[in-house]
A and B are shown apart, each in its own frame.
Chain A
Amino acid sequence: MTPKRKKILIGALAVVLAAALLCLSGLTSTERENISTPEQFLREMLAPLQNGASVISRNIGNWGAYLQGVDNIRAENDELRQEISELRLQLVDLAEYQQENERLRQLLNMVDDVSSQFDYVTTTVVNRSQSSWYKTIVISGGENDGFAVGMPVVCAQGLVGRIINTSANTAEVMLITDREGAISAMVQNTRTIGVVEGDGETSELSMIHVPYDAAVENYQQIITSGYGGIYPKGLLVGYINSIELKSDGLMLDIDVRSYVDFNRLEEVMVLKPKA
């Protein structure tokens, strides 16, 4: 074969390979229900190691916090004690409301609250985002524990995200802060509907598609609306931090803050539909 022909052949092969890889990446750019066997193998291989690493990093973090000053921790402890006593009083009121709510629901035959539809399965976070481009976490527990694609994931502070793929013993969760993790949500007090989405860069969220005349105020709670079929209604998303009128004058740009610290997630709960 002449050098010129060899060059043409290599060039043609490179173009074919590049086109094939681009096609493959295009096909796998969206969520996949099933991940391939090599991906499952690597995930299973990494899971125990990641679990160990997360324990080490947590310990390092704890030491860092300790070194920051015992005085700060004491002051914070006093504040938290005070807050706990205030919350205890509120809890009594809430228990009353809950009982009243349950009685009224029974009267109306309503069974659409989250706890009646889902079991909360607690699990631990074994790894954070595999790449800086995406906001995901890997949790322990997978198909063997009954986890499936689409199941919502929450923690004590509110909504975390949803499962996007599973292996036998792990599951990957797309956080609501990912640029593809948008959710249908509403303002709890006024029932104003909008879409909460992340920017994919920070842990900040914004609520869009809210008309300029919507009755919204700072510090109002945002919950899931139940539309779209992925997240059930009533999961806490965050609160309104600031409101601005968009440049077109028709829509509001609402800055939403989640109560969840997405960089320090340790335990989460998967909402498993009741059988």
Chain B
Amino acid sequence: MRKMRRRLLLAVLYLAAFLLQYGFFNNLGWGVFCPQLLLFFPVFAGLLRGCWFGLAHGLFAGLLMDLVIGRFLGLNMLVWGLAGFLTGRLTASLFKENYLIAIVSVLLSFTFGSLLYAVLAGLVSGSFFSMTLISRIILGGVLVNCFIAPIVYLPVYRSLSYGWLQPQPKRRA
């Protein structure tokens, strides 16, 4: 029952983030300052549940992004899967109670993800994005997403600790 409830809530969260990002925020014309809500799934999953969860959420969130953008299918999957995995690996031994860790994780993940996306897209297509565009996207994205990160992190952390997103305890033999 708890497992079912958790999956349902996750599905609703994904749908809400997806529709908000690509149905609403994107249409306001904020350009590089548009929030990337789907990015929070791999980063927070890696941070709070470990590298493998970060990888899984990164692959899924990346797939959604790829299907909407329609260019370089698979590249967002690869980039955000890796970002989620590395977030989990690098923050394994850190305390998660402080919201600053969420801000730093989002900052590093977004910067790493955007840089990797630009490099890989350039390598597979043979046409590289300009450094001005890359730096604008990173700067704008970091500012907006780091501002939103603590607002999203606190309810997610609480829900994972003692709310609906709380994972099922592992059975001992």
Chain A residues proximal to chain B, CB less than 8 Å: 18, 20-22, 24-30, 32, 35-36, 38-39, 42-43, 46, 49-50, 53-54, 56-57, 60, 127-134, 165, 172, 179-180, 199-201, 263-264
Contact = CB atoms under 8 A, between A and B. Distances in A.
17 contacts: A21-B78, A26-B124, A26-B125, A28-B73, A36-B67, A49-B23, A50-B26, A54-B27, A56-B24, A57-B29, A129-B26, A130-B69, A133-B118, A133-B137, A179-B130, A199-B132, A201-B133
B23 A50 contact: yes
B34 A46 contact: no
B132 A201 contact: yes
Given A21-B77, A133-B121, A201-B136, A42 B67 contact: yes
B147 interface: no
A199 B141 CA distance: 20
A57 B28 contact: yes
Interface string B52-71: 00000000000011011111
B24 A53 contact: yes
A28 to B, nearest CB: 4
B27 A127 contact: yes
Given A25-B73, A29-B71, A49-B19, A133 B129 contact: yes
A200 B27 contact: no
B32 interface: yes
Given A53-B23, A132-B141, A200-B129, A18 B71 contact: no
Contacts of B118: 133
B133 A25 contact: no
Contact of B75 (A21, A128, A263): A21
Contacts of A35: 70
Contact of A25 (B120, B137, B141): B120
Contacts of B78: 18, 21-22, 25
B23 A263 contact: no
B22 interface: yes
Nearest to A57: B28
A134 B68 CA distance: 12
B93 interface: no
B31 interface: yes
B150 interface: no
B117 interface: yes
B14 to A, nearest CB: 13
B111 to A, nearest CB: 14
B129 to A, nearest CB: 7
Contacts of B136: 132, 201
Contacts of A200: 129-130, 133
B67 A128 contact: no
Contact of A128 (B27, B65, B71, B140): B27
B127 A180 contact: yes
B62 to A, nearest CB: 9
Contact of A127 (B19, B26, B73): B26
Contacts of B77: 21
Given A133-B129, A200-B129, 7 more contacts: A27-B73, A29-B124, A32-B70, A53-B28, A57-B27, A130-B69, A133-B137
Contact of B74 (A25, A39, A133): A25
Report which residue of B23, B32, B75 has the largest number of chain A beta carbons within 10 angstroms of its beta carbon: B23
B71, B124, B130, B140, most chain A CB atoms within 10 A: B71
Nearest to A26: B124
Contact of A22 (B22, B69, B120): B120
A130 B31 CA distance: 10
Contacts of B69: 130-131, 133-134
Contacts of A42: 64, 67-68
Given A46-B19, A49-B24, A57-B27, A39 B67 contact: yes
Interface in B7-59: 19, 22-24, 26-29, 31-32, 34
Contact of B27 (A28, A30, A53, A179): A53
B34 A132 contact: yes
Given A46-B23, A57-B28, A24 B133 contact: no
